[in-house]
Every structure is written in C-alpha cells, then in structure tokens.
Structure 1
Amino acid sequence: MDHEKVNILLVDDQPAKLLAYEVILKELGENLVVASSGREALEVLLKTEIAVILVDVCMPELDGFELAAMIREHPRFQKTAMIFISAIQVSDIDRLRGYEMGAVDYVPVPVVPEVLRAKIKVFAELYRKTRELERLNQELEDRVRARTAELENSTAKLRESEQRRSMAIAAGKMGSWDWDWNSGDWMWDEGQYRIFGVGPESFEVNPANVQALLHPDDVDQLRKAIAEFNKGTRAYETEFRIVRPDGEVRWCVGTAAATVDDSGRVVRVSGVTVDITERKRAEERQNLLAREVDHRAKNALALAQSIVRLTRADEVKAYVSAVEGRINALARVHTILSLSSWQGAELSKLIDEELAPYSLGGQIILAGPEVQLLPATAQTLALALHELFTNSAKYGALSTRSGRLTIGWQVEDQLLTLSWEESGGPLVMTPKSRGFGTRSLLASVESQLGGQAQFDWRAEGLLCRLKVPLTRKTATAAPGKFDAPSSAELQRASG
C-alpha cells in the first residue's frame, strides 16, 4: 500500500558507518537524512520533520546522551523516537541513563541488518499512524466545530425566524393552533387567545368551549370543516364570526391543513386564524359610501335635469346663464359638504359662498348665530339663496348702488327662521306669475323640508321669510338622502 514517506535521521561521526546504515535501511523506502555530528543533527531537526532518530552513543564533542537530552528539551521533539547504537558493551546503568534521556531502544554493534530494519520500521509506522491519527482527529475536530457552528447558526436563525413569526402574527392580528385529531388535544398560541378574547389561565381549549365562542350562525362552519377532513380534504379555509366573552363580535378567516399517517388517515390538523374585523368594517364603510355617492349623484343629476327642463328665457344666452348659475350653486354647496365629509354645512358659510359674486361693499348685512345644517337642508337652502340673490341682482336691491340687503336668522325650538329684507332698490311690483326660481324655492322648502316660504312684495323691497324645521325626519336623514324636487312638484308649487 502506498504511503507517505517519513524522514529518518542517521547520526554518526564516522562516514563509513553512516553509509552502512543507509544501505541497510534503503529497503524501507523512507527518506534517509544523515548528520555527522550532534550539532549538525540539531540543525537538521530544526528544519525537517523527523520520525525516527538513529544516533551513535560515542561521538566527539557531543555524545548521544547529551544530544538526546538537548532534543528532549525542545517541545517539538519530546515524543520523537530515538534508537541508540553502541559499539561498546552497554551496562544496565548506561541503558537506564539512555532511557532517561529519551531513548526508546538500543542496537548493539555489530548491527544485524534485519533487526535494525525491523526496529526502524516499527517506529516509522508508529510515527505514520500517529500522524494519521492526529490528522483524522484534527479533521474530526474541524467537522465538529463546523457542525457546531452550523447548528448554532441554524438555531439562531430559527430563533430569529420564530421571533419574526411571532411579531408578524401579533402585528397581523393572527393566531396559530394545533389539534390532535385522535386525542382531541388543542394547542393555542398567544395570538389565538388574544383573538378570541380569553386567556390560557381561565380558558380550557376543547371543542365544546371553542364552539361556545363561535357565532351561532357560523357553528355549522366548524362541523363542515370536520366533515371535509373526514372525506379526505387536506386543506380548508372559511370566514366565520366569534363572540367574545364581553359580547364583542369579531370577524375571522381560518385556514387549516391536515397531517395524515401512512394509511391516509388524519392524525393532526394545524391552522392559522386571522382577525379581519377591521377589513370587514372597512368594506362595509366602502359599500355604504359607494351607495351614498351613487344616491347623491342621482339626486344631483335629477335636480340638474329639473333645472334644465324648467328654466325659461327669451334668448339662448340668458338661458345658459341661468342654468349655469343654478348648477354652480349646487357645486358650491357640494364642495362645502365634501370638506365636512358630508356631515353638514355651517349656514353662514353657505351664505358667504352664495353672496360672493354680489358683495358690493356695505350693501349686505348678515346677522345670526352659528347653525349647522344637515346635507339635505344645506342643498335646499343653497338653491333657495341662489335664486334670491340672482333675482335681487337683476331686479332688486343689489341691482343698484343705493340698494341694501339684510339677511338675518335665528333658531327656536329647532325651527330655523331666515329673513331676507331688501330696501333702497327699484320700486317693486308684485309679479303676475312665478318664475322657475320662485317655484323651485317653494317646492324645495315646503315639499322637501316641510317648511314654509313667505313672500311680501313691498314697494320698497322684497321681504321673504323661510321657516325650516331642523329636526324634521326629511331634514335629518342620513347624508346623501336628499331627493331633488320632481317636475310635478315644481309645477304644483307654481300654483
């Protein structure tokens, strides 16, 4: 068997003897290194890894015993095998001294080649085996360290992963559970207890107690899931509701997966529960908002249709101006309501928006407390005010510099009374017929809001009083429930 050669150091001061040793040991196939003195041998040892040292006891300057003592003092060579060769009769005392110096054997002269080769071979093989064992031990230690580091790294990653999973479950309002199908034992994590609103110290997890927390209308979902797993289903997902002990209802989505044995029978079911209550509520709010937007859009279109259909004018330009003005009034109140998320509008803000195009520096006086109008009331009054401002700018007090307009309002017993009083303008004549503005004002205030609209066409200026109940059912409907007056209503209001 091929093996790595080892170095054998031959030390003797006589060249002939060194040559003889080389010839004898050549058959071993090892590397033979020669040194003719003890000092030369020390130099070789410092530069070369030596397996066995064959040294002559009797050498000038530095004999074999002294050389052995110096070799053993060095940490690298404390276990190096040394064989002494002695040409003189060695006494027991000399042998004892040699062994104390670190010799492992003695070879007498004349040297028997077979004996010398056998002794050298034994220690060379021993050295080789020792080095191989050291190498294997080192490799084993390296593998153990690598495996230990790998396990530590894997454990650290697993711990980090578990921490991240726990954090993700907590942040995502999730819980995990495990159910032993055969024994019926359940295991819940902290998130599962939190979702159900119970604690491990007071709640025993078992089918009966879990079912008691399910919404009565969703108990069949649990029975259905069990039936599906019994039929061979490996995964199941469903939405369900739970009723916490404090009475709060929560929406959840549950996902479960089955583990089966070699025969295909279910032995364990594990799953995750996610609290989706906020998502459900958001969906409900979104659906409600969509319905409200749809309703408001239909109302706005219906009102715009009525405006277009019933507006009268002698020429196209006047017709377009009238229609645009009324639709712009709707747009302005829509903006106010949008900024309040359709919670309502402040009356003074509504008036400010409508009078902005007619503010003529001191001609208009406002007086009244803060009054919050519901969306339906705000839309109706916006159109009414627009008609009043438009008529005043064309024919009334706002049509001249000398004209004055006073708008006052007050609330008593949830009844809003708004007065519109003009003065200083052109002479007022009672109209022979009512235009669209007057008709729509009457229809909206009286039919839609259950209020009253009174007109007094005084010669010095128009006096109008609007009375609107703030708590009437039609006026307090949910945002978006404003219904535009129909054409029939407008026609009836025209009387």
Structure 2
Amino acid sequence: MSGELPNVLLVDDRSENLLALEAVLAPLACRTVSVDSGAQALKALLLEEFALILLDVQMPDLDGFETARYIRQRERTRTVPIIFVTAISKEPSNVYLGYEAGAVDYLFKPFDAHVLCSKVQVFLELHAQRRLLARSEAMLRRTFDHAPIGMARLDVDEVILDVNRAFAETLGRTPEALRGHGLRSLLHPDDREGDDVQRQALREGRLQSYDVGLRLVDAQQDAIPCLLSVSTLPPIDGEGPALLVQAQDMRERRRAEAEREALVREQAARRAAEWSSGRMQALQRVTDGALASLELEPLLDELLRRLIEALDVDVAAALLPEEPGQVTVFQVGAPESTPAQRRVLHPDEDGLLARVAAAGSILVSDPRDVAHPFGDAVATLLSVPLGGAGAPLGALVVGSLFARDFAPDDRDLLALAGERAALGIERARVFEREHSIAQQLQRSLLPAQLPGVPGLVLSARYRPGSAGTEVGGDWYDTVALPGERLLLVMGDIAGKGVGAAATMGQLRSAVRAYALVEDDPRAIAGRLNTFVASLAVDTMATLVLAVVDLAEGTVRQVNAGHPPPLLVEADGTRRYLRRALGVPLGALADPRYEQDEVAFGLGATLLL
C-alpha cells in the first residue's frame, strides 16, 4: 500500500549495536527490522520487502560477506542495496571484499550518525521512486493489454515481440502463440506485398506512420479484413527501434457498408453516392476529433463541435459520471462561436444517463419524457453510450430545436463517435494521472520552503522546461550553516526523466551531508565530484555552491560548469561571478575547483 513505511533490515550479532542503529534511524520515515545473524537476515528477506540492508561483517557462523553473496544470488533480493557497517580492519582488501560481495557502500565504526542518516535517506528516496516507476509501468502495461483495439509491437524485422488480447482474439489465437511470428506470415498471401512502398518509406525515415487495409488470416485460415495503422517507436532502455501495429477488424464495418451500397443502388445512384461521400468525410472528421488530443477538455470540445456540424444539430454534450451522484457535463452549442460550458449535475435516477447505460445502445427520446441537460427548447434527442455496451464511461447526446427523425447513418455516426471518444477519454485520463505523478515526483525533490534568515530575503521560482510526464534533474536548495552563514545550491543533472530526477535526489542529499562536515565549498565540490564519479550511471552535473556570510558581508562561491551567479548591488551595479568557473561534476577525476570570494553591500541581490 502507498501509506506503508519502507523497511530497513539491520543485521548485527551484538544487541547494543542494533539498538544504536535503531536510535540513529529513528528520525527517518522508515520501519527497522533487527536480526542478530546472517541466517535470520536471509529468513527475513523471504518474508518481507526491504528498501535497504545495514549489514555487519564480523558475525559467527555466516559472516557479512557470505550473507551478502547469498542475498545477491536470490532473484527477489539481488537488487536490494547493502551497506556494510563494521569495525573490521580498514585495509583496502577488506573493503574490496565488501564491494565484491555486492555492497553499495562501506562504513566503519564508529560512524557519524548524520552521515549514516543521509545515506539511508538517499536509498529510501530511491526505493520510493522505484516503486512509483514500477506502478506507472504496470499502468501502461495494463492499458496496452486491455485496449479494445488490437495492438502488436514488432522489431525492425517485423517479428512480433508482444501483442495484446484484442489482437490475439481477432486472429483466434493466444498472445503466446503469436510472439516470435513474422507479421507477414499472418497476412493473406495476396496482401503480403500490399504495403511495400509505405514500409520502405517507414524504414528510411520518410514516414512516421501509415494506414493500410490488408487481410489477416486467423487460426482457421479465414481472411479477416483489417485496417492496419503502422508507426515507428523510438528505442528505449538500450533496445533498438520498434514498430507499433494497430489492427481494427473491419468485418462488421464491411458488412454495414455492403448493406448501405445495396440500398444506394436501389435509389438514385448519383445522389446517394454524393451523400455517402459527404457522410464518410463527416465520419472521418468526428473520429479524428475523438483521438486527436491528449487533454480531456480540448478533445471533447473538438469532438462535440464536429458532431454538431456532421449531424446538423443545435447542441451536443458529453455526460461523464465522476463522484457518486454527480455527473460532469461538457456542452457545446451552435454557432461555432458559442463558448463551451462545463458544469456538474446531480442526475435523476431515471434520467438520460441512467437510461442510456441501462439500454447499452442508441436511444432516441422525446425531451419531455426524460431529464436531460439541454432545457425546454430542445425538441428531439439522440444519445449513445460512451464506449458501447458493457460498462460505458458515460453518454454522448445531441439535440435539435426542431422535431426530426434521425437517419440510421446519423445513429451509426454517433455510436461510432461514442466508441472512439471513449478511447480518447481513457487515454486523456491516463495522461492526466501520469502527469500528476510526474509533477509530484519533481516537487517532492525540492525544498518545501526556504529558511528564514535574519538580514536576508530569500525567494525561489521553479518552472519545469519539459512537458508531459517527463521530469528533469534541475534543483535548488539552501542549507543553514553556523555563524550567520547560508549555503545556496543550484544544480542540474545531465539528461531528463525519472533517472535524472533520482540522481538529482542522490546529489541533493549528498550536498546536505557534506555541508555538515565541510566548511570550505571547494572541499564540498571535490567530494561531490568523487560521489558523482562513483554512481552506477554514467552522468555529469553542473553545480553552484555559494556561501553567504552576513557577518563578513562576503560570498564565497564554487562553480562546476553552471551558469555564473549575478550579483546586483543596491546602486544597480551588476556583475557575473565568473572567476571560479570549473568543469562539471563527474567530467574529470581530480578537477581541483577554485573559490571566488567577493564582498557585497547592504541591499545587494544575488541571482543563481
């Protein structure tokens, strides 16, 4: 559950050492589990999940090195971080054995409680971030598996890597049976070269996607007409580029089109053909509007306006149940300049939404017989469920100010719009949830508030430079130091995404830890450079460390490849502090950072 505290496993054969570790970690938001042997530690790891293990080396029977090796051999526990906390000899050979056994750090007793807490806090934050990432990946996987349209992921040679259930069900096979097959082997023999030109353009980068009508072959070798949408996927996690294929079963649509064509032939051929052409264009506009945007309100606004145009109605609305007893109504009216409306209603038990959900199909209503959102001026209503039969997301409803009979094609168009709009709404909601998670992760790694320092006015503003769910490694921080001094920190991790944010969290914690033991910003920068070089990921970071001394009226700053601070005096004189500019953290093994000390007067402003 999201409210549970992360577990930290403490392993030491001496009870007084366990008590000391529990006392040191008491201020942290974690639950400690203490055991007195390596065997007990292995047993505990079978029963619970742990964010971190603090492990003694010198223990009877099973020592710390052997225990760590067993932990790394188990699939379930091989990624749990291990920190050795021991009084054993500080000889490099012993330290090497610890890292060889799988440790991520090695602390000697007696240890500094602040340093230990800082290190443990870093791993607790990393654990929380990993869990958020795993949850996000699970949500995306569930969306893929349960998408109502068939989807398959292919490698560049068009070998199927993964398929969802809808794709497999269309072909009457299981997902496991389809993995490893070439897509061409699933096409009708006469269609295997039907998209050669588009495929070549896709491989050469001249196309990003294309749609093509081809026939797939099911397990009984029956041909299934499908609309295939093929697009390229960028490489991730070291994998090469891939292809995404979406397959829409066209059999029902083909049957409907065949019936319509038979009717057209019985009537005036020319007029019916022109009318059908206009209807298909309207259908395309409506379906495009339902899937064109990731954001919910623009999606619904565009869809409803196109429905008004396509069906020649006066008003259209989407009804979406939110909390129990509440329905959000998105309403658009003609003409096009009329602004969209959004409001919350408390629907009747026998209202329009309830009737559409109960019927699970198209509903033509006399407005006098059912509660609806349009008012008394509407003479005829046509409504459909959002998402079709089953468990619809809500309802689409259109209304006319004059009595009219909606043609079958009008009903079909609205029904299809309801199905496609449901896909867009689900995708918009997933996007909004993931965007919220990304924002919360980014904000959680920044200080909640700036400290109050007599004689100083502190202000900070953070505006992410990337959109969507992507987060970055930019951060700032302040650390109060003894003697009327304040450490200002501004930094940026190379790269974007959750990985960069996680590395930023480590570096931010390291700055705070080193600031407790080092007075000189050059020494802090040197330690941070070593810390960045020791990280498992190959990265660099830019950083400014500025110590503001109110008693002396000076600023001492070290710059590791970051844009230089700007000092503005009270009289408006300004200058960039460039003299201490050095290379980014992690760029060189021993960069030897320089310090620039400048004086400032009353009323001066320092911008980082």
TM over 0.5: no
Say which structure is richer in helix. 1
Instruction: Report which structure shows greater RCO (CA 8 Å, sep ≥6).
Output: 1
